[in-house]
């Protein structure tokens, strides 16, 4: 991040245009005003550009359930489908896991942020085209899973640092709006991909998405830029990374809840379309479950972001936890109709889909306890914890479904082949509220 410590210090003191002086031996002293934080045309344009990039980077792997249903029922992948569930979770997991490396690197070399976005877009495009030629599951895993994630991390990571510079008092809302992008895309992409897959093939769908990605991302890269110009901040000293927060009880408790919640969070997005088909739902309903799951997350992220700006972070975490827990054990576990399943998708998407919005509040708490902590590193390690859960959830969910063998038609989710999956999702959602309980016991 471009001189993040210097710029954060100035924007925390005021939300008016900041005066920056550029002194060098080759040029005369020059003073210019920085645009204000928390509002103004530049701040909102940057946030909108970040929203678009968030939508396109995360929305595609978040909609992998549609591709999973297709891959498991169509040649050439249907005969060896055991590793298909890992493709989507690997893609999401790598983007998360790369957090400490990406955010630390961008904070130390801020001038690389813009180059990273273009390199990431190119890498994602290549991965989609390459995966369209795949004939085996391992090839999809390398291209649609690993290579896509590398490009997505390069394109996405700089946008997080930009939002952090442009918003201070409204940081929770800003991150909520930005992260609502994945839900927005996740609500529309399943229908688009389902339509293309039904009429043509996965090869056409992947190549089409590569074209869409380039056409939509390129124009918005102009608006996503730092508040502090690189040329005025490049002479500032490199940030000193203090990792002592990793040993603090505060961060350990927050990160444990975050990581375990992430272990189960991705399970519904992977299996809902397949589950819907198993109870006799049409393709339209199967697609609707994933679309509603992601769409409700849009509203959830924005509302939880507003709550975070006004209450203690553990209150927001508790709200997300209770809503997710009840939606799993009531609407999915007791689902006896398509209506119950759709109700689960809406409620779970709203409450669980907004959980990562709490990161802005966690970062604030960690920095309050240790002023030398760099926010990019806190964000990176929180993302890494969620990434570990994402990568593990793919093979874990595959094993859970295979462990339960049954026959006949079942009236409830608890009596289906997915009962262990449902229980795992609910238990991990409950552990996500660990920090609230710890605060009641004065542990944080």
Token pair for 235: 């002479």
Closest to 304 (Cα-Cα) out of 255, 368, 364, 352: 352
Residue 239, pLDDT score = 64
Rounded Cα distance, 57 and 184, in Å: 12
pLDDT of 410: 60
Query: Contact at 8 Å (CB) between 341 and 287?
Result: no
Q: Strands 30-33 and 19-22: what pairing? A: antiparallel
pLDDT in the model for residue 318:
94
- Give all domains of the chain, ordered by start, each with its CATH number: 33-440 (1.20.1250.20)
Nearest partner of 349 among 58, 62, 51, judged by Cα: 62
Concatenating the DSSP letter of every residue in 129-143 gives HHHTT--SHHHHIII
Determine the average pLDDT of the residues in 397-409.
Answer: 72
Per-residue pLDDT of 20-47, as tens digits, reads: 444 444 444 444 577 777 778 888 998 9
**What letter does residue 291 receive in the DSSP assignment?**
H
At residue 17, φ and ψ (nearest 5 deg) are -55, 135
pLDDT of residue 440: 82
**Given pLDDT bands bounded at 50, 70 and 90, which one contains residue 17?**
very low
pLDDT at residue 344 is higher than 90: yes
Q: What is the model's pLDDT at position 24?
A: 41
Tell me the pLDDT band of 251, cut-offs 50, 70 and 90: very high
- The mean pLDDT of the chain is 82
Q: Judge whether residue 253 has pLDDT over 70.
A: yes
| pLDDT of amino acid 409 | 55
What is d(CA 404, CA 271) in angstroms, rounded to the nearest whole number?
Answer: 15
What's the pLDDT score for residue 431?
A: 93
**Reported confidence tier of residue 408, pLDDT bands at 50, 70, 90:** low
The whole-angstrom separation of Cα 30 and Cα 21 is 6
Q: Rounded to 10 degrees, what is the CA torsion of 142, 147, 148, 149?
A: 100
Nearest to 141 by CA among 154, 130, 157: 130
Q: Looking at per-residue confidence, does 155 or 190 come out higher? A: 155
pLDDT of residue 237: 60
């Amino acid at each position: 991040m471009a001189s993040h410590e210097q710029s954060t210090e100035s924007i925390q003191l005021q939300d008016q245009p900041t005066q920056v002086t550029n002194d060098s031996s080759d040029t005369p002293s020059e003073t210019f005003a920085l645009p204000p934080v928390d509002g103004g045309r530049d701040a909102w344009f940057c946030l909108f550009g970040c929203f678009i990039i968030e939508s396109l980077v995360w929305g595609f792997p978040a909609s992998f359930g549609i591709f999973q249903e297709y891959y498991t029922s169509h040649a050439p992948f249907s005969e060896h489908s055991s590793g298909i569930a890992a493709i989507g979770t690997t893609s999401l997991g790598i983007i998360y896991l790369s957090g400490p490396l990406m955010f630390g690197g961008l904070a130390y070399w801020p001038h690389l942020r813009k180059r990273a976005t273009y390199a990431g877009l190119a890498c994602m495009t290549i991965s989609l085209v390459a995966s369209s030629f795949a004939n085996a599951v391992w090839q999809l895993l390398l291209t649609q899973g690993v290579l896509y994630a590398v490009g997505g991390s390069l394109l996405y990571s700089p946008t997080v640092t930009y939002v952090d510079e442009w918003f201070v008092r409204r940081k929770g809302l800003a991150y909520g709006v930005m992260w609502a992008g994945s839900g927005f895309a996740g609500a529309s992409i399943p229908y688009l991909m389902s339509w293309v897959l039904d009429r043509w093939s996965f090869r056409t769908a992947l190549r089409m998405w590569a074209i869409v990605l380039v056409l939509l991302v390129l124009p918005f890269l102009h608006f996503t830029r730092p508040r502090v110009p690189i040329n005025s901040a490049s002479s500032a000293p490199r940030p000193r990374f203090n990792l002592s927060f990793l040993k603090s009880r505060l961060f350990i408790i927050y990160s444990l809840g975050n990581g375990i919640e992430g272990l189960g969070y991705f399970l519904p997005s992977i299996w809902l379309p397949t589950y819907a088909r198993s109870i006799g739902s049409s393709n339209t309903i199967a697609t609707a479950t994933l679309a509603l799951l992601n769409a409700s997350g849009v509203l959830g992220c924005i509302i939880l972001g507003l709550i975070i700006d006004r209450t203690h972070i553990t209150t927001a975490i508790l709200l997300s936890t209770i809503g997710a827990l009840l939606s799993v054990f009531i609407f999915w576990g007791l689902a006896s109709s398509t209506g119950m399943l759709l109700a689960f998708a809406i409620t779970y998407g709203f409450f669980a889909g907004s959980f990562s919005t709490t990161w802005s509040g966690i970062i604030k708490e960690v920095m309050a306890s240790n002023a030398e902590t760099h926010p990019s590193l806190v964000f990176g390690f929180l993302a890494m914890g969620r990434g570990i859960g994402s990568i593990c959830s793919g093979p874990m969910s595959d094993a859970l479904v295979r462990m339960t063998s049954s026959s006949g038609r079942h009236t409830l989710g608890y009596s289906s082949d997915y009962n262990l999956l449902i229980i795992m999702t609910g238990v991990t959602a409950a552990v996500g509220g660990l920090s609230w309980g710890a605060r009641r016991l004065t542990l944080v």
